[in-house]
Structure 1
Amino acid sequence: MPRPRPARLAALMALLVGGALALAGCTSSSGNDGGNLGFVQGDGSVKTWTPSERSEPVTLTGTAFDGTKVDTSKWRGDVVVVNTWYAGCAPCRKEAPDLASLASSATDGVHYLGINSTDDAGAAQAFQRTFKIPYPSISDKSGSVVATLQGVVPVQAVPTTVVLDAQGRVAARVLGATTKATLAGLVDDVRSGDGTNTAAATS
Structure 2
Amino acid sequence: MSGVSRRTLLAGAFAVPAAAALAACDGLGNTVSDTGNQQGYVSGNGDLTILPVVERGQPVVLSGTTTEGDTADVAAWRGQVVVINVWYAACAPCRVEAPHLAAVADDNPDVRFLGLNTRDGQAQAQTFEKQFEIPYPSILDKGSGQGLLALRGTIPPTAVPSTVVLDVEGRPAACVVGRVEESVLRGVIEDVKSGRADSGGTTSAGTSA
TM-score category by the smaller chain?
0.7 to 0.9
Larger mean Cα displacement after TM superposition, 156-165 or 192-201: 192-201
Q: State the alpha-carbon separation in 1 of the partners of residues 190 and 202 from structure 2.
A: 10
Query: Partner of 1:123 in structure 2?
Result: 124
1:183 to 182, 185, 190: 185
TM-score between both structures, scaled by the size of structure 2:
0.76
The offset of 1:39, in angstroms, is 2.9
Structure 2: gaps (5+ residues)? 1-18, 31-43
Structure 1: gaps (5+ residues)? 1-31
Q: State the alpha-carbon separation in 1 of the partners of residues 125 and 20 from structure 2.
A: 29
Is the 8 Å Cα contact of residues 83 and 166 (structure 2) preserved in structure 1?
yes
Task: Indicate the structure (1 or 2) with the bigger Cα radius of gyration.
Answer: 1
Query: Partner of 1:35 in structure 2?
Result: 22
Is the 8 Å Cα contact of residues 67 and 138 (structure 2) preserved in structure 1?
yes
Aligned AA for 1:139? L
The offset of 1:134, in angstroms, is 0.3
Query: Partner of 2:133 in structure 1?
Result: 132
CA deviation profile, 1:39-71 (whole Å, cap 9, x unmatched) = 311110111112222111112100001011111
CA deviation profile, 1:70-112 (whole Å, cap 9, x unmatched) = 111010000000000000000000000100001111132x100
RMSD: 2.2
Identity of aligned residues (%): 44
Aligned AA for 2:28? F
Aligned AA for 2:112? H
How many residues get paired?
171
Query: Partner of 1:174 in structure 2?
Result: 176
Q: State the alpha-carbon separation in 1 of the partners of residues 20 and 89 from structure 2.
A: 27
Which ranges of 4 or more aligned residues in structure 1 deviate by more than 3 Å?
A: 151-156, 196-203
Q: 1:150 to 1:92 in 2, by over 3 A?
A: same
TM-score between both structures, scaled by the size of structure 1:
0.78
Q: State the alpha-carbon separation in 1 of the partners of residues 201 and 133 from structure 2.
A: 28
Q: State the alpha-carbon separation in 1 of the partners of residues 90 and 50 from structure 2.
A: 28
Query: Partner of 1:50 in structure 2?
Result: 52
Is the 8 Å Cα contact of residues 81 and 162 (structure 1) preserved in structure 2?
yes
Residue aligned with 2:196, SS:
coil
Query: Partner of 1:112 in structure 2?
Result: 113
Query: Partner of 2:195 in structure 1?
Result: 193
Q: 1:97 to 1:137 in 2, by over 3 A?
A: same
CA deviation profile, 1:119-148 (whole Å, cap 9, x unmatched) = 011110000000000000000011111111
Query: Partner of 1:29 in structure 2?
Result: none
